[in-house]
Amino acid sequence: MRPFSYARADGQAAAIRAVSAGGAGTRFLAGGTTLYDLMKLGVEAPERLVDINALPAIRGFDTTGPRELVFGAGARMSDVAADPRLVAEYPALSESLWKAASQQLRNMASLGGNLLQRTRCAYFRGGEPFACNKRVPGSGCAAREGIDRGHAVLGGSEACIATYPGDWAVALAAFDGVVDVAGPNGSRSIPLDALHREPGTTPEVETSLGRDEMILRIRVPVTPLGRASTYHKIRDRESYAFALASAAVALRMEGEVVREARIALGGLATRPWRAREAERGLVGQRLTAEAARAAGDAALRGARPGHHNAFRIELGARTVADALLIARQRV
Ligand SMILES: Cc1cc2nc3c(=O)[nH]c(=O)nc-3n(C[C@H](O)[C@H](O)[C@H](O)COP(=O)(O)OP(=O)(O)OC[C@H]3O[C@@H](n4cnc5c(N)ncnc54)[C@H](O)[C@@H]3O)c2cc1C
Ligand code: SF4
């Protein structure tokens, strides 16, 4: 690991100024569970870290408001996952957090850092021996001819097929979350669905966030769909593993009939993946096992298999179908 300097920011404006003035080598530091990891692997090598953990502006969260749930970017995953209102009224949001990582990591990791975690592609994390357009633009993509079992079947490009690994962003996508950010030129809000980018020809550009913009908070509109929701995560082992396929779903029903549906996929795509066609197809339908499976197939329409990951198309469709049937029980 290369030497770096560390400073604790004593205010939001000072932190943004420090990262802005420091250029590409200066980074915000929250829980460090992604950033230190990548520094130890040599994938990232910042010269200066600006610790934002003590900033009051990003701490805490409030799920009691009449119009929206508000989560400070510095709130810890474990605290938010255990919030009683979230558990009871937005189980998909709570489950997406407690099914992620381990208890120790969740105690340390922040919500903002979670959104900005980077792919687990082994060729990206493996460093120099491997061609990787995301790490070294223009160098190629070792995954294309390598082992792509964990790679994306949706949203990939010639340049990169790396999966977005996070869970929380997938649940937020289903609930139309919004991210408030501040930078040297002021503040703005970004719909969660527009935060992460597909790789296209520039896989190194992963989000629409400026390098010196800080995530302050995440907001979720209050909705009656929250209660009948779930985050269903399928992985190689039942705990402490990234998703092979996951689905955040939420429903508003009238009797047996779906009036509104939200479906977002995780583990299968290069970004959190909202499946709007599948949502539309459910409206007005009785939610039978067959209708749930048809929604799963619609959600995976357009998926492109590689050499070793075709099984995840079927797995993804089944994950969506099962998630819909779980959410239906919660109406
Ligand atoms: C072994 C392991 C297993 C894991 N399993 C899962 C899993 O199953 N599901 C899952 O979703 N995640 C998983 N994770 C990822 C984990 O949840 C993230 O590492 C964590 O949430 C990142 O938060 P952090 O506060 O530690 O971020 P940091 O490491 O501090 O920061 C991450 C990045 O975000 C930037 N950043 C942080 N905060 C802000 C901010 N407010 N504004 C702007 N930029 C910011 C940093 O500069 C850095 O680039 C796992 C991690 C590990 C190590
Ligand atoms: S899939 Fe993306 S991250 Fe992985 S090796 Fe290819 S370019 Fe790099």
Locate the ligand 2 atom nearest the alpha carbon of residue 161 and give its number.
1
Q: Where among 50, 69, 89 does a domain terminate?
A: 50
Looking at residue 10, what DSSP letter applies?
Answer: S
Instruction: Name the token pair of 284.
Output: 């007005």
Q: At residue 1, does pLDDT exceed 80?
A: no
Ligand nearest to the CA of 147: 2
Confidence (pLDDT) at 258: 98
Instruction: Judge whether 162 lies within some domain.
Output: no
Chain-centroid distance of CA 134 in Å reads 18
CA distance readout (Å), 326 to 223, 248, 288, 297: 19, 11, 12, 17
CATH assignment at residue 35: 3.30.43.10
192: nearest Cα among 264, 104, 289: 264
In a domain, 284, yes or no: yes
In which band, very low, low, confident or very high, does the pLDDT at 2 lie, cut at 50, 70 and 90? confident
CATH number for position 245: 3.30.390.50
Give the pLDDT band of residue 127 (cuts 50, 70, 90).
confident
What is the rounded average pLDDT of the residues 111-135?
A: 96
Total-model pTM: 0.98
Q: From the centroid of its chain, how far is CA 3?
A: 30
For residue 132 and ligand 2, the question of a CB distance below 6 A is answered with yes
DSSP letter, residue 123: H
Tally Cβ neighbours within 10 Å of residue 135: 22
Distances, alpha carbon 245 to alpha carbons 2, 74, 109, 122, 278, in Å: 35, 27, 22, 18, 16
Q: Tell me what the pLDDT averaged over the chain comes to.
A: 97
The answer to whether position 44 is within a domain reads yes
Q: Is 298 within a domain?
A: yes
Q: Which ligand is nearest to the CA of 40?
A: 1
pLDDT at 279: 98
What pLDDT is stored for residue 128 in this prediction? 85
Domain membership flag for residue 74: no
Encode pLDDT of 182-240 as tens digits.
999 999 999 999 999 999 999 999 999 999 999 999 999 999 999 999 999 999 998 99
How remote is the CA of residue 151 from the centroid of ligand 2, in Å? 9
Can you give the pLDDT at residue 38? 97
Rounded distance, CA 110 to CA 229, Å? 23
Shortest-distance ligand to the CA of residue 204: 2
Q: What is the pLDDT of residue 123?
A: 98
Bridge partners, 263 (sequence order):
249
296 part of a folded domain: yes
Return the ligand number nearest the Cα of 26.
Answer: 1
Ligand 2 probe mutation, 148, 161, 164, 205, most atoms within 8 A of CB: 161
pLDDT digits (tens, 9 = 90+) for 133-187: 999 999 999 999 999 999 999 999 999 999 999 999 999 999 999 999 999 999 9
How many A from CA of 293 to the centre of ligand 1? 33
Query: What stretches of 211-309 show up as alpha helix (H) in DSSP?
Result: 276-282, 289-299
Range of the domain at 315: 228-328
Whole-angstrom Cα Rg for the chain: 19
62 Cβ closer than 6 Å to some ligand 1 atom: no
Asked if 202 and 137 touch (Cβ cutoff 8 Å), the reply is yes
Pick from 44, 134, 139 the residue to mutate for probing ligand 2's pocket: most ligand atoms within 8 Å of its CB: 134
Pocket test for ligand 1, best of 8, 33, 233 (most atoms within 8 A of CB): 33
pLDDT in tens, 23-51: 999 999 999 999 999 999 999 999 999 99
In a domain, 201, yes or no: no
Supply the pLDDT for residue 125. 97
- Length of the chain equals 331
> How many domains is the chain built from?
2
In angstroms, rounded to a whole number, what is the distance separating the alpha carbons of residues 51 and 42? 20
Q: Are 272 and 169 in contact (CB under 8 A)?
A: yes
Task: Return the amino acid letter for 304.
Answer: R
Position 142 in a domain = no
Ligand 1 center–CA 20 separation, angstroms: 21
